[in-house]
Amino acid sequence: MSSPSPLVLVSGFLGAGKTTFLRRLIPLLEAADLRLSIVLNDYENADIDAFSLEQPGREITPVSGSCICCDSLLMLTVALLRMPAGGRHIALVEANGTSDPLSLTGHLLENPALRARFTPVLQVTVIDASRWQHCGEHNALERLQAAAASHLLLNRMERISSIDANNVRRELEELNPRAQRCDAESFAAALLAGKWGSPTPVGGHPHASHSDLAHGFTGLNLELPDLIPAASLREWLLGLPKEVLRVKGVLRLAEIPERWFSFQRLAGAPGEAALHALPGRPAFPPCAVLIGVHLDSAAMTQLRDAAFATATSL
């Protein structure tokens, strides 16, 4: 099988400038003789943005309807599996403004066929600085999109005062200190230098290097003991670093050994896990899938072992 291709997820709230970012990024990558496959997701008519990006030789797939993180996920998966892999190929996926990036990246990392075809998985979140945290009931979603990003692009900074601009920068730094700041030119340069080692990065950013892509998403699968005390589960969740954005898995609690549970924990609620009773024993052993940015497998294993030292295994 050919080597995997990078997959770039472009996220951000409605009207933040995601399609504009793609309009600037795509020619830079095409100038380096890369083959691009582009998926555009929107609620009603994704063909509008698709048409605005069309040029001979470009492979563009519009996905109209609901978010590609949920109801339109199957359509996205089919589109991705039809794409070529390797051979100087990059997949670009623009999610609509209300997509949950954690659910989407979780699917990309947990699906074996997609994981084999696409590495690294990068998320560029586009932020409209002039409207940051002015989205009403969707403020939490906008913060999640920023917190889950491997790269952040700030748009429309010129529309706000220097004081407000500094406040936006500070809030984003506190929310996601791991994310690389970028624009279309520096991101294109990082892609080229990180994947293909281009000696002359596009866009006049000669210092871009492989380290600029070091914050791609990671998915780790950890085996768990057969019976875990509830207190140990809580201790483990509390001890996970901020780099872990999502945890999901199956287990049995020592206090209720006759039942199996699925569990999930999202960033922002480090001490809590949503437990759901399963109808029976799953076909695979107790395990946890950790999704985050540049996760250290050895460190995550040590945290697991320390938390579950008193748990029992089959």
- Residues in CB range of 223: below 8 A, 6 or more apart: 285, 286, 287
In a domain, 313, yes or no: no
* Choice between 2 and 106, residue whose per-residue pLDDT is larger: 106
Instruction: Examine the pLDDT at 142 and tell me if it is beyond 50.
Output: yes
Are 159 and 167 contacting, i.e. CB atoms less than 8 angstroms apart?
no
Are 2 and 86 contacting, i.e. CB atoms less than 8 angstroms apart?
yes
What pLDDT band is residue 249 in, cutting at 50, 70 and 90?
confident
Identify the domain boundary among 191, 215, 239.
215
Same domain, 251 and 206: no
Query: 237-251, 259-273, 300-314: which range is least confident on average?
Result: 259-273
Over range 134-157, report the average pLDDT.
89
Same domain, 258 and 159: no
Same domain, 114 and 262: no
Cβ neighbours, 10 Å, residue 294: 14
Identify the domain boundary among 150, 180, 215.
215
Number of domains composing the chain = 2
Whole domain around residue 269: which residue ranges? 218-307
In a domain, 202, yes or no: yes
Identify the domain boundary among 158, 191, 215.
215
pLDDT the model gives residue 289: 81
Instruction: Examine the pLDDT at 144 and tell me if it is beyond 70.
Output: yes
Same domain, 190 and 291: no
Task: Compute CA distances 27 → 4, 23, 62, 104, 203, whole Å.
Answer: 22, 7, 19, 26, 11
- Residues in CB range of 159: below 8 A, 6 or more apart: 129, 130
In a domain, 265, yes or no: yes
Model pTM above 0.75: no
Same domain, 195 and 244: no
CATH number at residue 15: 3.40.50.300
pLDDT the model gives residue 200: 34
